[in-house]
Each structure stands twice: as C-alpha cells, then as structure tokens.
Amino acid sequence: MLRGGTSLLGIVNFVTFLISIPILGGGIWLASRANSTDCIRFLQWPIIAIGLAVMVVSLMGFAGACYRQTWLLRLYLFAMFFIVVALLFFIVFAFAVTDRGDGQVVMNRRFLEYQLSDYNGWLRDRVADPVYWATISACLRDGHACAAMRRFARDPNTGMLVPETPGMFYARDLSPIQSGCCKPPTSCAYTYENETFWTANPGVPTVVNDVDCSRWSNDQQTLCFQCDSCKAGVLAGIKKSWRKVAILNIVVLIILVIVYVAGCAAFRNARRIENDEPFGMARMTKTQPSRFQF
C-alpha cells in the first residue's frame, strides 16, 4: 500500500506524464510549421527531446513510487534535475533570441511591414546566412507559401467572382511571411495589379536605400524570396511560434519543479521504509546521555 509522499509522487508523476503530451504536441506543431510555413527545421527538436524525456522520467518516477524502489527514485531525481535545467535553459534561450523585432505599422495598411535591421543576434545570423537562406527560400517556394494570397470578391453588380481590389488587399491581415516574401515592400511604391503581381511606378518616389525594390520580381518562383523583408518575415514567424511554445514550457517548468520537490520527499520516505524506520520516529540522539534517567 502506498503511503504519504510516495502515494502523492505516484499521482503527480502520472499527471506529469499527461502533461508531457502537450510538450510533444508543441514540438510536432513546430515541425509542421517548419514543413509548411517557417521552413526552420532545427527549432523543434529540443522541444520533442524534452517532451520525450519528461514522458520517460515520469513513468520512471511513477514506477519507483508504486514499488518503492529507492534506486529507481534516485535515478528519477537525477534525470529530473537535468530535465528541469534543460527546460529552463531552453526557455531563457527562446526569449533571448527573440527579444527584438516587431512589424512596423504603415499608413493605410492593415498588415505590418518587416525589416531585417529590426532583428539581431544568433537567430538573425542563422537565418540570414546565405547557405542556410538558400535552403529556407527553396522551402518557401516548394511549399507554395504565397499560394494562399490569391482571393476573389463578388461583384455587387454582376454577382460574379472577380479579383479583389487594391483597397481590399490593403485591408487584409497578412502573415509575416506573406507580407515580407509575397509582395514588394510598401516603401517601393509599386502599383498593385494583383496579390503577387506589382509594377513599378516611375512617377512616385521610393526609398532610395531599400535594395529590396530591385530584388522584387513578378516571376512567381522568385517574388521577394531573396529580399531582406522576407528574411525578417521568417524571423517574425519564428518569434511568434517560439513565444507560444515558451509560455507553455514555463507552465510545465513550474509543475516539474513541484514534482521534483515531491520526489525528494518521496525518496526520503522510501528510504525510511527500506530501513524499517517507523513514521514519526525521532532520529536525533544525544552524543553524551544524561546520568539521570526518567
């Protein structure tokens, strides 16, 4: 029969096992985004590894609590300590590499514009690396990241579906990748033809230093996939995804710390049972007993 903290540890570890499922779900969600939108394939593996480790260690703690195996509880506490440290490191790392960078509001546009200069640090250097960006841009093209841009509206006079007007497009809430990769920057002052086809307007001044204006192409396999705004859009998507997963991991970290403390108590309890010590037994003894006995 389970007793005291050992029983509590068994229950808590079963709950922790259930909690490891959302962690794995977060890693799988990042993996699905890597295959379809963000195209960053190295970010999901730490989450998946931590989720699997929490699942295995939770089962280890549950078995150690049920059968009161001190060696298994000792191994459980050792592994749980490193999982807590690894999860804490990942949370700090996730917030550190995504601490800068937000979309910029543009007048008469609902969507935001993204600039690579707003980002810095390891993640920007990783994404902007020419070799790695070649892989990301190829993934965006092969994944048809801009295919969902095309929309139609019903003409109020004829009732037929027609391409949306520029005003309708400017009122759309585009994703970071759609805004950065599938259209030229607003500063280029290109004329809207459709969602992924724009023409230069010589009569309208543009931002001279914006090199992305010359990188834009109406070729549907090129678009703005080589633009700095596209790299910034990818970084913005990564930031949004990582922040969501990091917030989930903070909740899990708090629960794991509570479980670890309960595990320490259960380990002492199991040692007491193994040594045949009764509960509540005073373990302090005098080094020099008194001469008077009562």
Within the chain, residue ranges assigned H as helices are 4-36, 44-67, 70-97, 122-128, 130-142, 166-170, 176-181, 212-215, 228-274
Q: How many domains does the chain have?
A: 2
Q: Looking at the structure, tell me whether residues 73 and 165 fall in a common domain.
A: no
* Domain residue limits at 116: 104-234
**Assigned domain for 291 exists:** no
**Assigned domain for 230 exists:** yes
**Assigned domain for 290 exists:** no
**Assigned domain for 74 exists:** yes
Q: Looking at the structure, tell me whether residues 156 and 51 fall in a common domain.
A: no
Contact 235, 112 (CB under 8 A): no
Per the structure block, which two tokens stand in for 129? 């690396």
**Assigned domain for 283 exists:** no
Q: Looking at the structure, tell me whether residues 31 and 74 fall in a common domain.
A: yes
Write the DSSP symbol of residue 275.
T
Give the three-class secondary structure for 117: helix
Name the residue with higher pLDDT: 262 or 3. Answer: 262
State the Cα–Cα distance between residues 60 and 42, nearest whole angstrom: 28
Q: Report the pLDDT averaged over residues 153-176.
A: 85
pLDDT at res. 279: 47
pLDDT at res. 293: 42
Q: Looking at the structure, tell me whether residues 212 and 251 fall in a common domain.
A: no
Q: Looking at the structure, tell me whether residues 128 and 88 fall in a common domain.
A: no
Q: Looking at the structure, tell me whether residues 82 and 161 fall in a common domain.
A: no
Name the residue with higher pLDDT: 104 or 261. Answer: 104
- Asked if pLDDT for residue 251 goes beyond 90, the answer is no
Phi, psi of 105 (to 5 degrees): -75, 135
Q: Looking at the structure, tell me whether residues 17 and 89 fall in a common domain.
A: yes
Percent of the chain with pLDDT over 70: 78
pLDDT at res. 270: 61
Q: Looking at the structure, tell me whether residues 111 and 90 fall in a common domain.
A: no
**Assigned domain for 31 exists:** yes
**Assigned domain for 280 exists:** no
- Asked if pLDDT for residue 170 goes beyond 90, the answer is yes
pLDDT at res. 52: 84
**Assigned domain for 294 exists:** no
pTM of structure: 0.75
Q: Looking at the structure, tell me whether residues 174 and 229 fall in a common domain.
A: yes
Range ranked top by mean pLDDT from 9-18, 33-42, 107-116, 233-242: 107-116
- Asked if pLDDT for residue 38 goes beyond 60, the answer is no
Q: Looking at the structure, tell me whether residues 112 and 16 fall in a common domain.
A: no
State the Cα–Cα distance between residues 41 and 35, nearest whole angstrom: 8
Phi, psi of 243 (to 5 degrees): -65, -40
Contact 224, 212 (CB under 8 A): yes
